[in-house]
Amino acid sequence: MTAIALLGSGEFEPWARPVDTWCAEQATSASERVLVVPTASAPEGNDVFERWGRMGVEHYDAIGLAPEVLELRNRADAQTTEIIDAVQGARLVFFSGGNPGYLAETLAGTPFWDAVVAAVTSGETALGGCSAGAAFVGASAPYVAGDSLDHWADGTKLLPRAYIVVHFDMLNTYVPGLRDMLLEMRPRDTLTVGIDENTALCGDGQHWRVIGSGSAWIGADGNELTAHPDGATIDLRLI
């Protein structure tokens, strides 16, 4: 079964352990390997990239898995044999936060991303992503420069029907009016999937469950969304 976990924020924190455990249980790989992929943070420099990598290793060590940080910082890295081959047999590939548009533009159409999609759709490997690592699998992803939106990038479209908006409950706290602005930018023929902080939407592309302290917000009209709290199950075809 395809297993995908989309986190609104809070990767590698204690609240997310049930999410990562769910991912590990759904994947069919016999290994305990987890690939921690901090690519979205690469524009912020090596210190930030390495910090996210260390946090991921500590988190997965604590739940009995075998993590390794994937040194994937740019599009050239995503085409190297070592990086591509690392996907084979992994139980989970997890993309942490940063710049969603950068992550999408770095990975879309690369041999590495092709390998991830093949492993995930076969059921061998689960995919997890937080913040940027969740947003980039949908139809489009914002490319952030500093505190501003530089442009919209095409998402990788693992979930082509989804317009994924993360940090959903806190957006207007960060920038007044930001949530409404993002909802108004919803691409045509997509479903809005808003995910609150410290909240995850876990499923197979068609059937989902909410885990965490907030809600997942779903709607065909970006301004008319329905909240689904912790424990809710949702039938929602995003593939």
pLDDT digits (tens, 9 = 90+) for 95-133: 999 999 999 999 999 999 999 999 999 999 999 999 999
pTM above 0.95, yes or no: yes
- For 197, the domain range is 4-235
Q: What is residue 148's predicted lDDT score, i.e. its pLDDT?
A: 86
148-170 pLDDT tens trace: 899 999 999 999 999 999 999 99
Residues 6+ apart with CB under 8 A from 234: 201, 203, 207, 208, 209, 210, 216, 218, 228
Query: Is pLDDT of 223 > 90?
Result: no
- Quote the distance between the C-alpha of residue 16 and its chain's center: 13
Q: What is residue 112's predicted lDDT score, i.e. its pLDDT?
A: 98
The structure tokens listed for 22 are 């769910």
Q: What is residue 2's predicted lDDT score, i.e. its pLDDT?
A: 97
Mean pLDDT of 182-201: 96
Query: Is pLDDT of 205 > 90?
Result: yes
Confidence of residue 146 (pLDDT cuts 50, 70, 90): confident
What is the full DSSP assignment across 172-214? Answer: HHHSTTHHHHHHHTPPTT-EEEEE-TTEEEEESSSEEEEEESS
Confidence of residue 147 (pLDDT cuts 50, 70, 90): confident
178-191 pLDDT tens trace: 999 999 999 999 99
Q: What is residue 221's predicted lDDT score, i.e. its pLDDT?
A: 76
CA angle 116, 122, 126 (to 5 degrees): 55
Q: What is residue 43's predicted lDDT score, i.e. its pLDDT?
A: 97
* The total number of structural domains that make up the chain: 1
* 3-state class percentages of the chain: helix first, strand second, coil last, to nearest 5: 35, 30, 40
- The CATH number of whichever domain residue 66 belongs to comes to 3.40.50.880
SS3 216: strand
Contact 211, 199 (CB under 8 A): yes
Query: Is pLDDT of 145 > 90?
Result: no
Query: Is pLDDT of 222 > 80?
Result: no
Query: Which of 171, 174, 169, 109 shows the shortest CA–CA distance to 136?
Result: 109
What is the full DSSP assignment across 113-154? Answer: HHHHHHHHHHTSSEEEEETHHHHTTSSEEEEEETTEEEEEEE
Confidence of residue 49 (pLDDT cuts 50, 70, 90): very high
Confidence of residue 1 (pLDDT cuts 50, 70, 90): confident
Number of C-beta neighbours around residue 233 at 10 A: 11
Residue 5 DSSP class = E
Confidence of residue 60 (pLDDT cuts 50, 70, 90): very high
